[in-house]
Amino acid sequence: MQLHFSPSMRSITISSKNGFIDLMKIKVAACHISYRTLFHTILILAFLLPFVFILTALVTLEGVNKCSSFDCLGRRLGPKLLGRVDDPAQRLVRDFYNILNEVKTREIPSALELPDSFDQLVSDMKSNQYDAKTFAFMLRGMMQKFEREIRESKFSELMNKHFAASSVPKGIHCLSLRLTDEYSSNAHARKQLPPPELLPTLSDNSYHHFIVSTDNILAASVVVTSTVQSSQKPENIVFHVITDKKTYAGMHSWFALNPATPAIVEVRGIHQFDWLTRENVPVLEAVENQNGIRNYYHGNHFAGTNLSDTNPYKFASKLQARSPKYISLLNHLRIYIPELFPNLDKVVFLDDDVVVQRDLSPLWEIDMNGKVNGAVETCRGNDQWVMSKHFRNYFNFSHPLIAEHLDPDECAWAYGMNLFDLRTWRTTNIRETYHTWLKENLRSNLTMWKLGTLPPALIAFKGHVHPIDPSWHMLGLGYQNKTDIESVRKAAVIHFNGQSKPWLQIGFDHLRPFWNKYVNYTNDFVRNCHILDS
């Protein structure tokens, strides 16, 4: 780079070293150069010279010194500045993309041996000198193989979770056995519940009556304890705990030895209800005893299932629909509450997987507007598991009877915390409708719906549901791992519906404390059965 001053000092020229390119020419006044002008000139030069140096370096590095004009420089630097350089590396990338597109639409050669790892792929490439197309085929084959293995692993995980959810943990099984033994050997465990002087309260409508139907002693204890501890007037609570014959002795022992004072607890077995005869519930006997039904709920859940035609979400829903509890009379029992408790006017039914966190007495003040079932609607949310359910999520609308009688967009509602007006219920044909549709589904070989007791209830209670505020009943704690903790704290009743029950090892660790706080871990039976460890 050279700096030339004209003899007359009228111009200053900056040029490249060989003089071919005039990079800058500055003309000055013809007369005198003032100090101020000279200062400004030097200042401009000090600012521009570094850029001139960098530009010259680029010209040298790119071989532009053979060019004789800025036009040549522009042709070389322009495409690079605009990102349009067509160098060999980019051509290689384009060619490889073309090969990938070609391989994507073709069958993988059957003779091609797929490596099991990336290291083996590299080794095979080096030893066999594979071309790019063969490499692309191997890459595609490996991806498909791994995707298939991951998919199968996911389905196996869902199956194992289904078995875990359907089984009884050894600690809870131990609790039932020990309490049953206690019933036979300890008079205190057999004492009358409630005491004779409190028997009139069982049909006194000035009390708040709760009903729980379960064969899980530990779960029943949590429901009762949480309700009593959350109540502002626990002395006004009457609990009716209904269980099956095999669990009755153990359930009675628990509440006899661990009274929920000042609340009143009654424990009854199904066998103690005179109304529950085979003549009155023939449909349920068929549900429990039909071989096809039992095979559906207890059989091989992989049989007849094409895993390539489904996804994990749909498969999980099908497994949930095959829970053995759905053919248990205890699960269908709620449809017979008006007949089982003929003297009661209004009750709250609670599932055994709920925890009560707030006083529920205001429920009895709700005006039902002539409806039977006060329930939270489950079509007002955005999550796919719980709060976005319509009839189309439960019924097969390709079945002509379903398509004829039901609206797929009708809002579903939740079982688990329901306020029932039994006086109004007794004036309806809800139970008969429930039976009729159960029979139709049996005749259609379970093609109308497959998810337990809620679908026939959705039909039977159609037109009889009074929506209550969602804050009364929060669902999905057995489904959704990312449940908002603050919303859980605020809900009156939280419901662990789904497979991940809090008493199972597959329960969600961050939600389990909401249930654990109502388990009496100091109780001798609980400690001896290692409930805390199970």
Q: What is the mean pLDDT of the chain?
A: 81
Query: What pLDDT shows up at residue 528?
Result: 94
Most confident residue range from 151-160, 310-319, 501-510: 501-510
* H/E segment holding residue 508: none
pLDDT for residue 219 is more than 70: yes
Distance in angstroms (rounded) separating the CA atoms of residues 429 and 459: 12
What is the DSSP pairing of strand 208-213 with strand 346-350? parallel
Most confident residue range from 11-25, 277-291, 297-311, 396-410: 396-410
Indicate the residue type of 8. S
Give 356's strand partners.
493
Query: For 429-449, what is the mean pLDDT?
Result: 89
Q: Which long-range contacts link 91-97 to residues 24+ away (Cβ below 8 Å)?
A: 95/132, 96/132, 96/136
* Full-model pTM: 0.72
Distance in angstroms (rounded) separating the CA atoms of residues 113 and 124: 10
pLDDT for residue 483 is more than 70: yes
What is the DSSP pairing of strand 22-27 with strand 346-350? unpaired
Token output for 360: 């529920």
Query: What pLDDT shows up at residue 189?
Result: 97
pLDDT digits (tens, 9 = 90+) for 48-63: 666 555 656 555 555 5
Q: Are the CB atoms for 408 and 394 separated by under 8 Å? A: no
pLDDT for residue 74 is more than 60: no
Query: What pLDDT shows up at residue 48?
Result: 64
Phi, psi of 186 (to 5 degrees): -125, 120
Q: Are the CB atoms for 462 and 454 separated by under 8 Å? A: no
Distance in angstroms (rounded) separating the CA atoms of residues 12 and 33: 13
Q: Are the CB atoms for 497 and 353 separated by under 8 Å? A: yes
- From the list 436, 361, 445, the residue with the least C-alpha distance to 399 is 445
Which has more confidence, 277 or 234?
234
Query: For 460-481, what is the mean pLDDT?
Result: 93
Q: Are the CB atoms for 180 and 245 separated by under 8 Å? A: no
DSSP notation for 377-402: BSSS---SSSSS-BGGGTS-TTSHHH
Indicate the residue type of 179. L
Helix residue ranges per DSSP H, 26-131: 35-61, 70-81, 88-104, 118-128
CATH number assigned to the domain covering 169-529: 3.90.550.10
What is the DSSP pairing of strand 264-269 with strand 354-356? unpaired
* H/E segment holding residue 528: helix 524-528
Query: What pLDDT shows up at residue 417?
Result: 97
Query: Residue 315 CA to chain centroid, in angstroms?
Result: 14
Integer CA distances (angstroms), 503 to 154, 257, 434, in order: 23, 22, 32
User: Which of 339-343, 420-424, 451-455 has the lowest average pLDDT?
Assistant: 451-455
Distance in angstroms (rounded) separating the CA atoms of residues 520 and 265: 17
| pLDDT classification of 131: cutoffs 50, 70, 90 | confident
DSSP notation for 161-225: HHHHHHS--HHHHHHHHHHHHHHHH-GGGGS-SS-GGGGGGGG-TTSEEEEEE-S-HHHHHHHHH
Which has more confidence, 281 or 345?
345
- From the list 106, 124, 105, the residue with the least C-alpha distance to 114 is 124
- From the list 394, 430, 428, the residue with the least C-alpha distance to 414 is 394
Q: How far apart are the first and last CA of the chain?
A: 84
Query: What pLDDT shows up at residue 170?
Result: 92
Helix residue ranges per DSSP H, 352-502: 400-405, 422-425, 430-443, 454-460, 485-490
Token output for 105: 């639409």
Neighbours of 25 (CB within 10 A): 12
Token output for 186: 């300890």
Query: What pLDDT shows up at residue 65?
Result: 47
pLDDT for residue 367 is more than 60: yes
Q: Are the CB atoms for 464 and 426 separated by under 8 Å? A: no
pLDDT digits (tens, 9 = 90+) for 376-414: 999 987 766 678 899 999 999 999 999 999 999 999 999
Indicate the residue type of 483. T
Distance in angstroms (rounded) separating the CA atoms of residues 357 and 472: 10
Distance in angstroms (rounded) separating the CA atoms of residues 396 and 402: 7
Which DSSP state fits 115? P
- From the list 533, 523, 531, 450, the residue with the least C-alpha distance to 216 is 531
Q: 57 exposed, middle or buried (CB, 10 Å; 0-12, 13-18, 19+)?
A: exposed
pLDDT digits (tens, 9 = 90+) for 191-209: 999 999 999 999 999 999 9
Query: What pLDDT shows up at residue 518?
Result: 97
Query: For 227-236, what is the mean pLDDT?
Result: 98
pLDDT for residue 72 is more than 70: no
Query: What pLDDT shows up at residue 443?
Result: 85
Domain residue ranges of the chain, discontinuous segments joined by +: 118-166, 169-529
- What angle is formed at CA 220 by the lines to CA 219 and CA 225, rounded to 5 degrees? 100
